[in-house]
Structure 1
C-alpha cells in the first residue's frame, strides 16, 4: 500500500541510479536531433525511475556527472550533456561551460558568468557541440553505453525509447509518420474541442468573430489542421489539445503549429501573407510549454471546459 519512492533526490542516489536512464533518454533525444529541458529530465526520473522529488538544480549535477563518466571511458565522447537545456533560452546552463572549454580549447567558457559575458561565443560553441552529438550514430551510442554502464543497449531498445518519448495520451485522429502515437482514431474529447473552436472563433479572439472557418483542413504537406479561420487581413491555423493531453501531446501541438503556419503561408498566393498559429487547450500549460510557445511566437488560448 505504500507509495514510497525507491530513491531520494540526493547526489548519492542520483549518481547511482539516475545516470543510466538519463543516458538512454539523451541518446533518443540526440538521434531525434532534439533537446530536452532540465524539467523534462526531472519529470522522467520522478515518474518513470522511482525518484522522490528532485530539486531542478540537481539535474545539472546529473548531466555533468554523466558526462564525466562517459569521458572516463572515452575522452572523445560527444558532449551529450549540452542537449539538456534551460526552458527559457533553450541552451545548456553554466555547468556545460567547463566541458565545452576543454573540448574546443576556449578557456573563457569555463569561467564564472561566461554564458552572460560571452553570449555569442557560448551559443556558437554550444551549437558546435550539439552538431557533434547529432552526427554520432546509433551503433556508436550502443558501444559507448556498454563501456560506461557494462550493460547492453540494443538498437531495438533505442528505437523503443525514441517512440516512448513521443507517446501521447490524446487521440487526435492522426497517424504521425505512419506510427500511432495515440491509441488510433480521434477521441471524443479532441473532437468536441475541435468542433467548438471551429464554431466559435470569436471566443478565441473577438476580432475573429466574423471569420470564415473550416475544420480538418488538408495541407499540401499531407497534414490536417484542426481548424482554420480566414479573416480579412490574416489566416489563423489552430491546433487543439483536450484536457486529456499530456506534456508530450502539448509539446507536439506546439511543433504542429509551427509546421502548419509555415505550410499555410507557403500555400498562400499573396505576397508575405500573414498567417498566425494558435494552440487551444482546456487546461493551463506548464512553464516549459509556455516558454516554447513564446520562443516560436505561437499564441495560446485556454478554452472553458464547461461550454454548455
Structure 2
C-alpha cells in the first residue's frame, strides 16, 4: 500500500490533529484540513522516500486512530471530523460512527443538511478546544519510535541524519553516531581539506533552497562542503551521500555566484569506516566525488556527549590527516 501501512500512520495523524487544535485554540471557527492536505502532512511526517500517502487512505487512518483511542480511553471529542472533503467542507460519511449517538441521534448525520452538519462540527470543535487530556492520550502513540521504525523500514539502515525532522517537523531523529561525527568534523577542519587557521565551520548549514549540508567551512577564498556518513551507514546510505554531494556542490556554487564572493567550492563525502564498499568507491570515481575516510578511533577519543557538552571540541584530541579515496 504505497510503501506504508495504515496503523503505522496513527501516531502521526494524532499528532497532526492535536497540533492543529493547539495552534488554533483561540479560534472560534473550526480549523479544517482536507483529506488531501492531511495526506501531504502524513507523507512529510512519515519521512520515507517513495511513500506518498494516498488521500483515499486518510479516512481509514484517522478512523482507525480514533477507534484505538476510544478503545483505551473511552469517549473523547471526535477530533477526526476536522478532516474534510475539499468540495463541501464536510467529513466523509464514516464520520457518523464517531458522532452517534453522543453528538447527534442515530442516522441523523446521513440525512442532515450541510448547514446542520457544519453547526455540529462547530460544537465538536468547541469540545476539542476545552478538552484537557490530549497530552495524556498522546502517551499511547510513540511518535519518535514510529519515525525510527519508518526510516529503518525504508532503508534497512540505522543511520539517521535528522534533516527531514529539522526541515519539516517530521522524519526520524538524528542518530547519535551521525551527530557525533558531524561535530567532530567541524572541530577538525584540517582533516576535511579546509585550512585549519582561517576556516569558519558550521554544522547543519541551510541553503536558500532549504537543503541542508552537514558541515560547511568557509575561508577567504574557498568554501568546503562535507557530507557525513557515520559508522552505521550502509551501502544504500553511502550511495545517497554521493548524490547529496553533487547537489550541495551545485547549490554552493550558485550561492557564491549570487553573492559575487569569487570563492571556489569543493565537496567531499566523509565516511567513518575502514573502507567503503568497492561499488561506492567506483561510483565516487565515476561521479568525481572525493571520499574522506575518518578514523573512528579518533572520533571515540575525541569524546562523547558528557565529555564535550554541546559537541564542542575540547582541543585535546590527536589529529591525523584523513586518507582520500582515489
Tell me the TM-score range normalised by the shorter chain.
0.3 to 0.5
